[in-house]
Amino acid sequence: MPPSSLRVVYAFAREMYPKTTDVFIQYGTAGFRTKANLLEHVVYRMGLLAVIRSRVKNGRTIGIMITASHNLEPDNGVKLVDPDGEMLDGSWEEIATRMANVSDTELEATTADVIRQVGADMALKASVYVGMDTRYTSPRLASAAVHGAMALKGTPKEFGIVTTPMLHFFVKCRNDETYGTPSEEGYYQKIVGAFKRLRARMPVAGEYNNTLYVDGANGVGGKKLNIIKKTLDGELDLHMFNTGGNGGKLNLNCGADHVKSTQTAPVGVEHVPWQRVASLDGDGDRIVYYYIDDKNKLNLLDGDRIATLLASYVNQLLKEIGASDLSVALVQTAYANGASTKYITEQLKMPVTCVSTGVKHLHHEALKYDVGVYFEANGHGTVVYSGKTKEAVRKIFEEGDQEQRKAASILLDIIDMTNETVGDALSDLFLVETALCARGINTKQWMQLYDDLPCQLMKLSVKDRNVVTTADADQQSTSPEGLQSRIDELVANIPSGRSFVRASGTEDVVRVYAEADTQENVQKLAAQVAQAVYDLAGGVGTRPTLPE
């Protein structure tokens, strides 16, 4: 493409998406996220970048998702999806940040420069898939993405309101037709179809019952589950709450993030003691379970619990098919409760690794194994199966003895039910329901598999959060000087103590995590570590105080 045709890049910017703010914006772990009214020019520019990326990838499809996940309604965001349905390659985050922050008059030259830098052949075709969540600001932003794609002569395709994991799925299917059909219908056919097939031959047994309450966070996940509910035929008795009607506000006092971080029940759900509830986040890529017991206490089954349940079930099936050379590994972050890690190593006897926070780190690590189960404690995660594993299971399904074939057919449906591209609340929900049903256990029995250590998360403001750096998957502080040795001293005084500190990638704060043998000790440890951060990293506002 001759440079003159980049004129239109500037024309669109000036006429429709002028940059009206000088606030610097950075592509973080979840893309760009801020107040929706500051985003139009950013999303337009991501449309440009998606076309460049598609051409660098030989015309394979790139995704753009408009969402701010679990943030409240006034926020919005944008992230790019790579051809295999994965998060945008880390090395492009800097390019995205550069494109987003240059002035309108520099945009044409910067675009040309980026095209040169990445070696994009602008004569190639380019394909961009665009999806959005339910926010009222999303349609305008989706249009900005489409115009960005058109400005560089790419071919955009809009999917309207879809969950984030659906868009990842569509992108993957478009680039690899063996994975499925790139449409909402194709998604339901593959994922829900596998669940229904499996349920038809798996009797509801033991303590498991098929009634499930769902908190939809008033977002897109609940809406889509309502569509799915209509096609279920008694396989699962879904009771939907917070699906966006009745004036319920997106993510406001409801949804997976609310339940996980406040450990309190969402508004809008009619609770029945012991009833299993699944809580989704605003864009449908996170899920946690919980129940309220007869003492009105909320019992949380978070990402760690989901990971251990799924890993042990898949491992059991691999044993049943006799694939002893295939193994299941778990991937966690430092936020995983220490009790879950201990349960995985000592009881399940499975390998477990710890990686830095952020989905892309977990995903890439999980891909190294025959079966990789990754989850963040906050409920984002999935299972990935290697090509070798899929082939082996298929072969046993065709050639094994009767028992082996039976287990292999279950495993094939489980693989189909999994959205392997990214954590997916809907796919995870069906996987959890399958594992619980197969085991014949209720939520209380699931909870009894191990006891969580008391833990606490705190956040505090410092002058510049970038002075806090970490190594070893967030577990060691490398700066400010003296912080790690102070944490070591504090932890040594507390039984089962563990604590680490990291700068948030999504908020201007430093996060402190602590766990210990008792509630009292964990509060003390978290406050002491927070004080150390305040003193050594330039705390702002009041110094954290120790509990009475």
Give least dist CB 288 to ligand 16G, A. 13
**Which partner, ligand 16G, Mg ion, none, binds residue 276 by CB below 5 to 8 Å per kind?**
none
Q: How many residues bind Mg ion (CB under 5 A)?
A: 5
DSSP string, 445-465: HHHTT-PPPPEEEEEE-BS-G
The strand pairing partners of 456, in sequence order, are 514
* Subset of residues 286 to 305 that bind Mg ion, contact rule: CB under 5 A: 286
Give least dist CB 501 to ligand 16G, A. 11
Complex with ligand 16G: residue 68 or 436, whichever CB lies closer? 68
Give least dist CB 99 to Mg ion, A. 24
Q: Who's near 374: CB < 8 A, 6+ residues apart? A: 307, 330, 331, 332, 362, 363, 365, 366, 381, 382, 383, 384
Complex with ligand 16G: residue 354 or 441, whichever CB lies closer? 354
**Which partner, Mg ion, ligand 16G, none, binds residue 505 by CB below 5 to 8 Å per kind?**
ligand 16G
Report in angstroms the alpha-carbon separations of 125 from 55, 122, 495.
7, 8, 60
Cα–Cα distance, 370 to 258 (Å, whole number)? 34
| Residue number with the smallest Cβ distance to Mg ion | 69
| DSSP conformational letter for 543 | P
Cα–Cα distance, 308 to 301 (Å, whole number)? 11
Confirm or reject binding of residue 424 to Mg ion (CB under 5 A): no
Q: Which of 292, 265, 312 is nearest to 450 (CA)?
A: 312
**Which partner, Mg ion, ligand 16G, none, binds residue 496 by CB below 5 to 8 Å per kind?**
none
Complex with ligand 16G: residue 19 or 79, whichever CB lies closer? 79
Complex with ligand 16G: residue 71 or 389, whichever CB lies closer? 71
Confirm or reject binding of residue 285 to Mg ion (CB under 5 A): yes
Question: Which DSSP helix (H) or strand (E) runs through 332?
Answer: strand 328-333
* Angle subtended at Cα 375 by Cα 373 and Cα 377, rounded to the nearest 5 degrees: 150
Cα–Cα distance, 156 to 167 (Å, whole number)? 13
DSSP string, 11-39: HHHHHT-----------BTTBEEEEGGG-
Q: Helix 425-439 and helix 193-200: axis angle, to 10°?
A: 10
Binding region for Mg ion (CB under 5 A) out of 5-13, 277-285, 300-308, 391-399 = 277-285
Complex with ligand 16G: residue 235 or 281, whichever CB lies closer? 281
Give least dist CB 431 to Mg ion, A. 18
Contact flags string 73-102 toward Mg ion, x per CB under 5 A: ------------------------------
Task: For 276-305, give one letter per residue: b (16+ CB within 10 A) or e.
Answer: bbbbbbbbbbbbbbbbbeeeeeebbbbbbb
Give least dist CB 79 to ligand 16G, A. 7
Would residue 69 show up in a list of annotated catalytic residues for this protein? yes
Q: What are phi and psi of 546, to 5 degrees?
A: -80, 150
Complex with Mg ion: residue 72 or 540, whichever CB lies closer? 72
Complex with ligand 16G: residue 49 or 359, whichever CB lies closer? 359
**Which partner, Mg ion, ligand 16G, none, binds residue 359 by CB below 5 to 8 Å per kind?**
ligand 16G
**Which partner, ligand 16G, Mg ion, none, binds residue 504 by CB below 5 to 8 Å per kind?**
ligand 16G
* Angle subtended at Cα 314 by Cα 309 and Cα 319, rounded to the nearest 5 degrees: 130
Give least dist CB 435 to Mg ion, A. 22
Binding region for Mg ion (CB under 5 A) out of 49-57, 62-70, 99-107, 315-323 = 62-70
Please check whether residue 148 is in contact with residue 47, taking contact to mean a CB–CB distance below 8 angstroms.
yes
Confirm or reject binding of residue 420 to Mg ion (CB under 5 A): no
The residue within the footprint of Mg ion, chosen from 34, 54, 61, 69 (CB under 5 A), is: 69
Token duo for residue 420:
């392997």
The strand pairing partners of 514, in sequence order, are 456, 499
Q: Which of 329, 421, 321 is nearest to 374 (CA)?
A: 329
CA 490 and chain centroid, separation: 32
Cα–Cα distance, 451 to 453 (Å, whole number)? 6
Complex with ligand 16G: residue 242 or 357, whichever CB lies closer? 357
**Which partner, Mg ion, ligand 16G, none, binds residue 283 by CB below 5 to 8 Å per kind?**
Mg ion
**Which partner, ligand 16G, Mg ion, none, binds residue 452 by CB below 5 to 8 Å per kind?**
none
**For strand 287-292 and strand 237-241, is the pairing parallel, antiparallel, or unpaired?**
unpaired
Cα–Cα distance, 331 to 151 (Å, whole number)? 41
**Which partner, ligand 16G, Mg ion, none, binds residue 507 by CB below 5 to 8 Å per kind?**
ligand 16G
Give least dist CB 482 to ligand 16G, A. 23
Cα–Cα distance, 345 to 418 (Å, whole number)? 24
The strand pairing partners of 333, in sequence order, are 355
Complex with Mg ion: residue 69 or 279, whichever CB lies closer? 69
Give least dist CB 235 to ligand 16G, A. 30
Dihedral sign computed on CA atoms, order 384, 387, 391, 392: negative
The residue within the footprint of Mg ion, chosen from 75, 235, 281, 302 (CB under 5 A), is: 281
Catalytic residue (choose from 4, 5, 54, 69): 69
Cα–Cα distance, 459 to 474 (Å, whole number)? 15
Q: What residue ranges bind ligand 16G (CB under 6 A)? A: 29-30, 357-359, 376, 378, 380, 504-507, 511
Give least dist CB 124 to ligand 16G, A. 28
**Which partner, Mg ion, ligand 16G, none, binds residue 511 by CB below 5 to 8 Å per kind?**
ligand 16G
Residues marked as catalytic? 69
Residues of the shown chain interacting with Mg ion in the complex, contacts defined by CB under 5 A: 69, 281, 283, 285-286
